[in-house]
């Protein structure tokens, strides 16, 4: 096993030594990356393409001269392996490692810094040596909340991905625990996977996949079958599930720039109807996808006449209003407020937008702001009974909040008063004690000989 002291002084002998003690981890076995294991890792899983890996490394020339070291910076290095974010040798080498493994990689120039090298550090066309430690790895989070995590088993081909509206052909295998509950070849429209009993998480991962890719998707209940479960698959409520997905083929939908305004307006009508169907069925996330598509198509369009301009604005207003309603149902109140604000920017007296913003603000305990919204609703439509009822609720909440504040401050002031009283008593006791001590000292001094 090689150590720093064992490192030879030239490329040829270094290659010979590594080849004798190590393994070629390149796909075409050209000795471009030779690995020698210094400390075995934990038996089991290895990183997959796209995984977020954390490593420590030390980089040296074959002469033994160090040019980089993460340990000296006291900070490990993180990257998504197999994505071309780092040296090609790193992608290849790390994918061959196990958690906790320490190894040395001898890397040919074409797998490292190439013919150019790295100014002031790496001479041109130089082989380099890296000592790597794989600290940990985890799947690639496709959503901010970690609800969809992907691990790529087979990398896809090309540079295009399905978009919303694409027709995709996939092979699916769904598991809950160790039980296989879904295994089929199926075609569906991205954004409408619900129609084929495919969970939201699989649908939302499609625009990250490439043709031929096979990946594992780890789905939290929000992106799986939710609190309802899926009785037809014998999936109970709030269950984590895993889908293995192979994207066999797809046909992209037209992008916004590929459609003229008439086509956008025609398709918007269809998509709006689809969104409304999902909303009525309680599939709010799926409805959100449809309404957001309309906005992405029309928000920068102006139209050529009053009729077109009004049609565009109507679609945008309706989509934002519907999104606000969806987000209210999903309890994502900030998103609801944002969409209402978009409507109010275009129509400051929009009754529905003001009312729904008031509802969202009330749920966020912004009682005064909610009250102002409901009062503005009444200015627009004095017959709106729902707004009047909400005003009463807001006033009650504001009063309740003030009472709570008064009680809190009263208790706080009471504690301050008690603390001050105690301090005065302590000061008085201390003064009295000092006085008694002084008297005794004077008496003793009078009894003492002079």
Are 109 and 152 found together in one domain?
A: no
Domain C-terminal end among 357, 378, 397: 397
Domain that holds residue 238: 148-251
Are residues 69 and 130 both part of a single domain?
yes
**CB crowding 321-360: b at 16 or more within 10 Å, else e:** bbbbbbbbeeeebebbbbbbebbbeeeeebbbbbbbbbbb
Q: Do 34 and 121 reside in the same domain of the chain? A: yes
Of 251, 283, 313, the position where a domain reaches its end is: 251
- Same domain for 154 and 116? no
Q: What is the pLDDT of residue 449?
A: 43
Dist CA 121 CA 236 (whole Å): 58
- 233 and 260: one domain? no
Alpha carbon separation from 271 to 48, 91, 274, 286 (Å, rounded): 37, 42, 5, 11
Q: How many independent structural domains does the chain possess?
A: 3
| 83 and 21 in a common domain | yes
Residue 386 lies in a domain: yes
At residue 178, the 3 state secondary structure works out as: coil
- What pLDDT is attached to residue 45? 86
On whether residue 441 sits in a domain, the answer given is no
Instruction: Tell whether 78 and 187 lie within a shared domain.
Output: no
CA pair distance 9, 171, nearest whole angstrom: 52
- Is 126 part of any domain? yes
Digit-by-digit pLDDT tens for the chain (450 residues) are 344 444 444 556 666 777 778 899 999 999 999 999 999 998 788 999 999 999 999 999 998 999 999 999 999 999 999 999 999 999 999 999 999 999 999 999 999 999 999 988 999 999 999 999 999 999 999 999 999 999 999 999 988 999 999 999 999 999 999 999 999 999 999 999 999 999 999 999 999 999 999 999 999 999 999 999 999 999 999 999 999 999 999 999 999 999 999 999 999 999 999 999 999 999 999 999 999 999 999 999 988 889 999 999 999 999 999 999 999 999 999 999 999 999 999 999 999 999 999 999 999 999 999 999 999 999 999 999 999 999 999 999 999 988 876 777 666 656 666 677 677 766 666 555 555 555 445 444 344 443
385 and 291 co-located in one domain: yes
Q: Would 125 be classed as within a structural domain?
A: yes
Are 243 and 217 a contacting pair, CB within 8 Å? yes
Q: Answer whether residue 432 is part of any domain.
A: no
Contact 291, 322 (CB under 8 A): yes
What DSSP assignment string belongs to 101-170?
-EEEEEE-GGGTTTTT-BTTTB-TT--EEEEEEEEEEEPEE-STTS-EEEEEEE--BSS----TT-EEEE
What CA–CA distances, in Å, run from 293 to 174, 255, 277, 353, 372? Answer: 28, 11, 15, 20, 32
CATH number for the domain harbouring residue 96: 3.10.50.40
* Residue 198 resides in a domain: yes
Final residue belonging to a domain, choices 251, 269, 295: 251
Q: Are residues 387 and 273 in the same domain?
A: yes
173 with 283, same domain?
no
Residue 2 is predicted with a pLDDT of: 40
Cβ 129 vs Cβ 7: under 8 Å = yes
Q: How many CB atoms lie within 10 A of CB 120?
A: 6
- Domain co-membership, 38 together with 98: yes
* Domain-embedded: residue 69: yes
Query: Are residue 169 and residue 239 in the same domain, yes or no?
Result: yes
In a domain, 435, yes or no: no
Q: How many residues appear in the chain?
A: 450
The CATH code of the domain that includes 367 is 1.25.40.10
pTM of the model as a whole: 0.79
Position 150 scores a pLDDT of 97
């Amino acid at each position: 096993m090689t150590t720093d002291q064992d490192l030879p002084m030239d490329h040829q002998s270094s290659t010979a030594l590594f080849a004798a003690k190590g393994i070629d981890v390149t796909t075409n076995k050209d000795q471009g990356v030779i690995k020698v294991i210094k400390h075995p890792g934990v038996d089991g899983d290895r990183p997959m393409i796209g995984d977020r890996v954390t490593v420590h490394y030390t980089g040296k020339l074959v002469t033994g001269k160090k040019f980089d070291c993460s340990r000296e910076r006291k900070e490990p290095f993180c990257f998504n392996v197999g994505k071309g974010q780092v040296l090609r040798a790193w992608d290849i080498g790390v994918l061959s490692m196990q958690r906790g493994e320490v190894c040395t990689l001898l890397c040919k120039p074409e797998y490292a810094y190439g013919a150019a090298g790295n100014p002031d550090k790496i001479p041109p066309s130089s082989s380099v040596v890296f000592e790597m430690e794989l600290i940990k790895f985890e799947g690639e989070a496709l959503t901010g909340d970690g609800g969809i995590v992907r691990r790529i088993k087979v990398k896809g081909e090309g540079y295009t991905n399905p978009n919303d509206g694409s027709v995709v052909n996939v092979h699916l295998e769904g598991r809950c625990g160790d039980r296989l509950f879904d295994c089929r070849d199926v075609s569906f429209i991205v954004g409408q996977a619900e129609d084929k009993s495919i969970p939201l998480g699989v649908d939302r991962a499609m625009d990250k996949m490439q043709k031929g890719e096979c990946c594992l998707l780890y789905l939290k209940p929000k992106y799986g079958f939710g609190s309802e479960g899926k009785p037809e698959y014998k999936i109970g409520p709030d269950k984590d599930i895993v889908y293995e997905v192979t994207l066999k083929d797809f046909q992209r939908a037209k992008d916004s720039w590929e459609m003229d305004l008439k086509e956008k307006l025609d398709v918007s009508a269809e998509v709006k109807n689809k969104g409304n169907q999902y909303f009525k069925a309680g599939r709010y996330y799926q409805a959100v996808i449809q309404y957001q598509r309309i906005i992405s198509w029309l928000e920068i369009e102006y139209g050529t006449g009053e009729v077109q301009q009004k049609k565009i604005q109507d679609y945008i207003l309706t989509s934002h209003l519907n999104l606000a309603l969806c987000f209210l149902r999903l309890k994502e109140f900030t998103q609801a407020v944002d969409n209402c604000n978009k409507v109010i920017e275009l129509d400051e007296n929009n009754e529905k937008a003001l009312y729904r913003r008031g509802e969202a603000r009330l749920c966020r305990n912004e009682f005064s702001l909610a009250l102002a919204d409901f009062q503005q609703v009444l200015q627009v439509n004095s017959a709106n009974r729902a707004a009047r009822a909400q005003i009463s609720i807001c006033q009650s909440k504001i009063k309740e909040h003030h009472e709570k504040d008064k009680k809190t401050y009263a208790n706080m002031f009471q504690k301050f008063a008690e603390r001050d009283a105690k301090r005065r008593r302590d000061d008085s006791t201390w003064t009295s004690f000092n006085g008694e001590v002084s008297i005794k000292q004077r008496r003793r001094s009078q009894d003492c000989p002079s």
